[in-house]
Amino acid sequence: LAVLSGPLGTPLDLSAFESGSKALLLGGCYGIAAIYPIARALKERGVKVDCGIEASSAYMLYYENKIKSVSDELFIRTRDGTRGTKGGCADMLKDAEGKYDSVIAIGCVFMMKQCAPKIPQGLANALCALNPIMVDGTGMCGACRVSVAGNTKFACVDGPIFPILEVDFDELG
């Protein structure tokens, strides 16, 4: 091997996602690709999976067919309205109250910060992935330091998946 880095975080614990439950996966930018394997794994567990993807413009969307292949329903949003509905992933949460047991948002920090206050009340799982703040992925640089539920965590060692409502997005910037 020429190069090896790690630990790069911990895997998503799928045990909390029960067969027959409903999950909404939201992907923006790189997060569109990141939700694909999660959606596929949840479908294999018998979870009903709806996916929402966002991009600034239609030409920036990708993986639509892959995401659609593992989704019960696919929602598309573009910031400029050139494809799907105008808006972003946070807008998809407006109608999510009572429809889902879980929400996972993956994308840029700004997108996840927009989603956090719109998470429906009482969800069993409301998660985000803080991959965008990782630099070296080994825990050595400290760039991925984040406050989660008032405790200091490192996205590359303790995450990257965290409860979205416990992340201090204001501190992240």
Instruction: Please give the pLDDT value at position 78.
Output: 97
Other C-beta atoms lying within 10 Å of the C-beta of residue 78:
21
Instruction: Please give the pLDDT value at position 41.
Output: 97
Mean pLDDT of 55-74: 97
* CB-based contact 107:54 (threshold 8 Å): yes
Instruction: Please give the pLDDT value at position 72.
Output: 98
pTM: 0.93
pLDDT tens figures, 136-169: 877 788 899 999 999 999 999 999 999 999 999 9
What's the gap between Cα 30 and its chain centre? 10
Q: DSSP labels for 62-86?
A: --HHHHHHT-SEEEEEETTSSSSEE
In sequence order, which residues have a C-beta less than 8 Å from that of residue 109 and are 6 or more positions away? 130, 132, 133, 169, 172, 173
Amino acid at 50: D
Strand partners, 49: 23
Mean pLDDT of 61-66: 96
Name the residue among 62, 48, 37, 170 with its Cα closest to residue 116. 170
Mean pLDDT of 112-128: 92
Percent of the chain with pLDDT strictly greater than 90 = 79
Distance between CA atoms of 124 and 101, rounded to whole angstroms?
Answer: 6
Residue 76: is its pLDDT beyond 80? yes
Instruction: Please give the pLDDT value at position 6.
Output: 65
Strand partners, 128: 105, 162
Mean pLDDT of 71-95: 96
* CB-based contact 14:39 (threshold 8 Å): no
* CB-based contact 35:26 (threshold 8 Å): yes
pLDDT tens figures, 5-33: 666 788 999 998 999 999 999 999 999 99
